Chain A
């Protein structure tokens, strides 16, 4: 029964594949929970810093930091592309990179040049192959990225903006909607978009801070940290997306493997049954002949 053995081997190999995908699914599920917690933990900092920054912008209508001043007619823009380091997470990176490439094409069509910072292995490799101008990159962040690692690559972009080499800065990452749904997004980091001016009048007669040592230094530090925290949030959110996308992808892989095994088992049993029937009929025919 040569065919039977072949099928049995195939079933065995699919079963071991299924074990691996199942294990990866469970690992991704537990990592996802932790990543979501980290995502939540990073929110208060960004909210507080945003509050202070908005308040400062209203209290100081005459002083405008270069990060806040709008710039018209951008000639060159910077993009920070956040992707995962590893694959096997469905179309997560492909979707984000497709969004980025579409945006890059429209920029290029209007004569805007592009500098890229790649955070994550997948995006870095892709952008290198594409021939994009990668000014800085960071790979191998792992599951627990640290702000410290981001300072360097982000500062390259911030310096370029301060020196006028780029006129806008964007962040591309996956937004975490829920476990089943992630959405690639392009977010403008610089120039900072001011909050809606609805309550501007209310804040007009508001108090101002005393700055120590002087306003410029403090505001500089604050806004730099603000941008960094936005990038950090993007990275952390992308990791939560990666884990949940991986969990879903591995779950469907396990389900598919189960279907394949069921089908193979059916074929195996059918051929076994057919072989037995054939043998029986041969024996019966033989007995009748005698």
Chain B
């Protein structure tokens, strides 16, 4: 009796195959999963997932940055995060993004001025070129 194990992250698939058992770092403690496990959904801590392959002494080790673990009797799916996350870390990222947007909003006037100045400069240059051409023609 074997389990089907899929480890995927948003950016790529990390592992896919069958296993005798899997052990994962759950949020509430290490979990050992064998076939016919009851359906379970939990969050993972960053750590290594150990996969015991059938008919092999070696265990496959895969590091995950936390994520979500879904267990069905014969299927284990690990939705791995691509980076270590936490409420504080996420919050900091959101604040940073907000601040950058606010700065950009404040800066808008200067950016607009710059664009306008550029347009005026281009216009003036075109006028100068036209005047020079006219002068050449009429000597």
Contact = CB atoms under 8 A, between A and B. Distances in A.
- Give the interface size bracket for A toward B: 35 or more
Main secondary structure of the interface of A (DSSP, over half): helix
A9 B111 CA distance: 38
A89 B42 CA distance: 44
Contacts of A136: 94, 97-98, 100-101
Contacts of A225: 10, 67-68, 79, 81
Nearest to B71: A209
A48 B97 contact: no
B93 A151 contact: yes
Nearest to A233: B10
B85 A151 contact: yes
Main secondary structure of the interface of B (DSSP, over half): mixed
Contact of A52 (B28, B77, B108): B77
B97 A156 contact: yes
B97 A152 contact: yes
Contacts of A42: 10-12
A152 B82 contact: no
Nearest to A217: B43
B130 interface: no
A38 B111 CA distance: 35
Q: Which 6 A-B pairs have the closest CB atoms?
A: A152-B93, A152-B97, A155-B94, A212-B42, A136-B97, A209-B41
27 contacts: A41-B12, A44-B6, A44-B8, A46-B10, A52-B41, A52-B70, A128-B111, A136-B100, A137-B100, A137-B104, A146-B11, A151-B85, A151-B93, A152-B90, A152-B93, A153-B97, A155-B94, A156-B101, A208-B39, A209-B70, A210-B41, A212-B28, A212-B40, A218-B42, A225-B67, A225-B81, A232-B10
Interface of B: 6, 8-13, 26-28, 38-43, 67-68, 70-71, 77, 79, 81-83, 85, 90-91, 93-98, 100-101, 104-105, 108, 111-112, 115
